[in-house]
């Protein structure tokens, strides 16, 4: 068996991080050990993201940088994976000649076989087929030692075709994992010490659509709620159009389900939501948020917003700002619209100039910072349950953890508290974290 080093560089979302973990597990079986030094590696994989142009540029420039290592080490194997690899296929070799391996998002399970073929035959391998079964999501990747929290993919792909988004083209049709496989993985995670799971999918609310025996998302989280050893459940991402009353009620009914939902709105303008093909109106979105808050007072609501989508006028933008003022998100991921090849939005008229997009984004972020700060200040004096995750980065006397509502709290405490749930009285709310004292 080999005893070689593997270096993986991951770009983009949590789904990619999870895919990289699975790659590492598969390659461990053929003798590759992870290193964080690319110069030491015999195999380098770059797991890419293509959601926005900036991510694409970063991945290619990193590939170019790492290719230089081949000059001193001609046996080094370099592989290009993920959404960009899916999109570019064999055309990657035209852009960066000496890449050995290009494989797409459905081909992770074939990695050992592909690496062996490159090693033995020194030929280029390109594998970007889509399959109608889930392969790689069922590979168990043990969490890093000491992890209290872990992501669990419950589905792959997406069928929503939002006009701006490449995911349905690059990750394929939506497919859900069998609930037994998911619960089995969560049980194994608890045996490794994990207490909190985040169920992961592009649209978790439509989980189960393609399953023969019928298990929807609420039934799935109810099963997770019954797993001994699991103390907290989270999920991401929820599509507003599929957010059911059943799921809203689950926040009141399932004790382990944490009081936080990431519910991307994308825009506050009905005209733009329609052009984006999101399938809900601003009024319907606000109504769902109101129901969530009625069922679960204090629930934290976070979101994604895109500014400068083709055709977005200053009136549409103002409607997004009005929506933010009305809802007051706990925090927000906000992006300038980035045109992606092959998406419906590429053909839309009314491109917004870059400078205008930049200004809209900046103004929106200033407003969100004000809301986040106000929300965090409002928690001063309240007692929060914190799962202690580790020592604080800022002070050796402090530990850090998260509230059920997903906010970071730092407080004085010994490392013996790590892994425990404790009550902390919040003394100060900052923009990015809270400060408190143990009760």
Q: Is 262 in the site for ligand SF4 (CB under 6 A)?
A: no
Identified binder of ligand SAM from the candidate list 306, 324, 388, 424, rule CB under 6 A: 306
Judged by beta carbon distances under 5 to 8 A according to partner kind, the member of ligand SAM, ligand SF4, none in contact with residue 52 is ligand SAM
Specify the residue, 150 or 202, whose C-beta has the smaller distance to ligand SAM. 202
Q: Is 161 in the site for ligand SF4 (CB under 6 A)?
A: yes
What is the closest distance, in whole angstroms, from the C-beta atom of residue 205 to ligand SF4 in the complex? 10
Indicate the burial class of 34 (C-beta count within 10 angstroms; 0-12, 13-18, 19 or more).
middle
Q: Is 13 in the site for ligand SAM (CB under 6 A)?
A: yes
Specify the residue, 73 or 346, whose C-beta has the smaller distance to ligand SF4. 346
Q: Is 203 in the site for ligand SF4 (CB under 6 A)?
A: yes
What is the closest distance, in whole angstroms, from the C-beta atom of residue 289 to ligand SF4 in the complex? 18
Q: Is 111 in the site for ligand SF4 (CB under 6 A)?
A: no
Phi, psi for 35 (deg, rounded to 5): -130, 155
Other C-beta atoms closer than 10 Å to the C-beta of 222 total: 16
Q: Is 167 in the site for ligand SF4 (CB under 6 A)?
A: yes
Q: Is 239 in the site for ligand SAM (CB under 6 A)?
A: yes
Contacts for 212 with CB less than 8 Å, ≥ 6 apart:
none
Specify the residue, 195 or 340, whose C-beta has the smaller distance to ligand SAM. 340
Alpha-carbon distances of 345 from 76, 111, 279, 300, 352, rounded to whole Å: 40, 34, 15, 31, 12
Specify the residue, 6 or 263, whose C-beta has the smaller distance to ligand SF4. 263
Identified binder of ligand SF4 from the candidate list 234, 239, 375, 402, rule CB under 6 A: 239
Identified binder of ligand SAM from the candidate list 93, 251, 335, 406, rule CB under 6 A: 335
Can you give the binding site for ligand SF4, defined by CB under 6 A? 158, 160-162, 165, 167-168, 202-203, 239
Under the rule (CB under 6 A), what is the footprint of ligand SAM?
Answer: 13, 51-52, 164-165, 202-203, 237, 239, 264, 266, 304, 306, 335, 337-338, 340
């Amino acid at each position: 068996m080999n005893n070689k080093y593997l270096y993986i560089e991951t770009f983009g979302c949590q789904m990619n991080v999870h895919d990289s973990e699975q790659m590492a597990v598969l390659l461990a079986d053929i003798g590759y050990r992870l290193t964080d030094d690319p110069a030491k590696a015999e195999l380098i994989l770059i797991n890419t993201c293509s959601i926005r142009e900036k991510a694409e540029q970063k991945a290619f420039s990193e590939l170019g940088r790492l290719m230089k290592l081949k000059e001193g080490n001609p046996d080094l194997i370099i592989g290009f994976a993920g959404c960009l690899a899916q999109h570019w296929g064999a055309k990657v070799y035209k852009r960066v000649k000496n890449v050995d391996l290009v494989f797409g998002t459905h081909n992770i399970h074939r990695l050992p076989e592909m690496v062996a073929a490159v090693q033995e035959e020194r030929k280029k391998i390109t594998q970007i087929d889509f399959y109608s079964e889930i392969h790689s999501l069922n590979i168990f990747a043990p969490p890093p030692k000491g992890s209290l929290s872990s992501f669990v993919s419950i589905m792959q792909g997406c069928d929503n075709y939002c006009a701006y988004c490449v995911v349905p083209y690059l990750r394929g049709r939506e497919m859900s994992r069998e609930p037994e496989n998911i619960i089995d993985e969560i049980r194994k995670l608890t045996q490794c010490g994990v207490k909190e799971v985040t169920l992961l999918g592009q649209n978790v609310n439509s989980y189960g659509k393609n399953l023969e025996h019928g298990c929807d998302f609420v039934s799935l989280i109810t099963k997770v709620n019954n797993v001994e050893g699991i103390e907290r459940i989270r999920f991401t991402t929820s599509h507003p159009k599929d957010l059911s009353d059943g799921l809203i009620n689950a926040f009141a009914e399932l004790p382990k389900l944490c009081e936080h939902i990431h519910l991307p709105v994308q825009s506050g303008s009905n005209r733009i939501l329609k052009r984006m093909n999101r399938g809900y109106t601003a009024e319907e979105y606000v109504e769902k948020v109101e129901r969530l808050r009625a069922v679960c007072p204090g629930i934290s609501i976070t979101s994604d917003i895109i500014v400068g989508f083709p055709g977005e006028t200053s009136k549409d933008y103002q409607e997004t700002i009005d929506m933010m003022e009305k809802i007051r998100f706990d925090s927000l991921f906000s992006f300038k619209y980035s045109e992606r090849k092959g998406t419906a939005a590429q053909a839309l008229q009314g491109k917004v100039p870059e400078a205008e997009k930049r200004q809209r984004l900046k103004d929106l972020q200033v407003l969100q910072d004000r809301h986040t700060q106000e929300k965090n200040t409002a928690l001063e004096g309240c007692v929060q349950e914190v799962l202690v995750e580790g020592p604080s980065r800022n002070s050796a006397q402090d530990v850090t953890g998260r509230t059920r509502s997903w906010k970071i709290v730092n407080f004085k405490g010994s490392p013996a508290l790590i892994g425990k749930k404790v009550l902390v009285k919040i003394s100060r709310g900052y923009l990015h974290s809270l400060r408190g004292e143990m009760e």
